[in-house]
A and B are shown apart, each in its own frame.
Chain A
Amino acid sequence: GQSLEQPSEVTAVEGAIVQINCTYQTSGFYGLSWYQQHDGGAPTFLSYNALDGLEETGRFSSFLSRSDSYGYLLLQELQMKDSASYFCAVREAAGNKLTFGGGTRVLVKP
Chain B
Amino acid sequence: NAGVTQTPKFQVLKTGQSMTLQCAQDMNHNSMYWYRQDPGMGLRLIYYSASEGTTDKGEVPNGYNVSRLNKREFSLRLESAAPSQTSVYFCASSESNLEGTDTQYFGPGTRLTVL
The interface of chain A, by Cβ under 8 A from chain B, is 31, 33, 35, 41-45, 48, 87, 91, 94-103
Contact of A31 among B42, B101, B105 (CB under 8 A): B101
The interface of chain B, by Cβ under 8 A from chain A, is 31, 33, 35, 40-45, 48, 50, 58-59, 90, 94, 96, 98, 100-109
A45 to B96, CA, bound (A): 15
A35 to B96, CA, bound (A): 17
Sample of 8 further A-B pairs with CB below 8 A, known A43-B90, A43-B106, A100-B43 = A31-B101, A33-B101, A41-B108, A42-B106, A42-B108, A43-B104, A45-B103, A96-B102
Where chain B touches its partner, the secondary structure class is: loop
A100-B94 contact, Cβ under 8 Å, with A31-B101, A42-B107, A45-B101: no
In the assembled complex, which residues on chain A have CB atoms less than 8 Å from the CB atom of B101?
A: 31, 33, 45, 48
Of the listed residues B43, B58, B96, the one surrounded by the most CB atoms of chain A closer than 10 A to its CB is B43
Contact of B96 among A48, A96, A99, A101 (CB under 8 A): A96
